Amino acid sequence: MKVLCFIPLLFLSACSTAPKLTLKPQQSPSTIDNAAVRYPEAIRAYHVGRYTDPNDDLVMHERHVFYRIEETARWNFHPGPANDGSIALSRPSFDAAFAPVPVNDAILAEVNSQRLATAQIMAEKKMLTVVLQQLQKTLLDASKTSLATDNLRTAMDNLKKRLESLEAAVRAQSPVSSTNEPARSLSP
pLDDT digits (tens, 9 = 90+) for 58-71: 999 999 998 999 88
Domain shared by 42 and 56, yes or no: yes
pTM summary value? 0.32
What is the C-alpha end-to-end distance of the chain, expressed in Å? 167
Please indicate, yes or no, whether residues 115 and 167 belong to a single structural domain of this protein. Answer: yes
Contact status, residue 76 vs residue 65, Cβ threshold 8 Å: no
Please check whether residues 82 and 136 belong to one and the same domain: no
Q: What is the pLDDT of residue 133?
A: 96
- Please state, in angstroms and rounded to a whole number, the distance separating the CA atoms of residues 83 and 22: 19
d(CA 138, CA 91): 68
Residue 183: half-sphere exposure toward Cβ, Cα within 13 Å = 12
Are 92 and 142 members of one domain? no
75-to-18, 36, 40, 68 alpha-carbon distances in Å: 46, 9, 9, 20
What's the mean pLDDT when you consider all of the chain?
80
Whether the predicted pLDDT of 151 surpasses 70: yes
Q: Domain check: are 56 and 112 in the same one?
A: no
Distance separating alpha carbons of residues 50 and 60, to the nearest angstrom: 7
Same domain, 83 and 46: yes
Shared-domain flag, residues 93 and 115: no
The answer to the question of residue 72 being in a domain is yes
Residue 82's domain comprises 35-99
Report the SS3 class of residue 184.
coil
Please state, in angstroms and rounded to a whole number, the distance separating the CA atoms of residues 81 and 87.
12
Among candidates 43, 32, 120, 110, which has minimal Cα distance to 76? 32
Model confidence at 157, pLDDT cuts 50, 70, 90, reads very high
**Domain annotation covers residue 156:** yes
In this structure, is residue 181 part of a structural domain? Answer: no
Of 66, 99, 132, which marks where a domain is finished?
Answer: 99
> Does the structure show a pLDDT above 80 at 185?
no
Q: Does residue 148 belong to any structural domain of this protein?
A: yes
Torsion of CA 159, 164, 165, 166, to 10 degrees: 90
Kindly state whether residue 182 falls inside one of the protein's structural domains: no
Q: pLDDT digit string (tens) for 88-134?
A: 445 556 666 777 777 788 888 999 999 999 999 999 999 999 999 99
Q: Are residues 89 and 111 in the same domain?
A: no
Strand pairing partners for 52?
60
**How many Cα atoms occupy the beta-carbon half-sphere of 86 within 13 Å?**
15
> Do 165 and 108 sit in the same domain of this protein?
yes
Any domain includes 4: no
Q: Are residues 83 and 109 in the same domain?
A: no
- Same domain (yes/no): 73, 53: yes
Task: Indicate whether 110 and 95 sit together in one domain.
Answer: no
Say if 66 falls within a structural domain. Answer: yes
Count of structural domains, the chain: 2
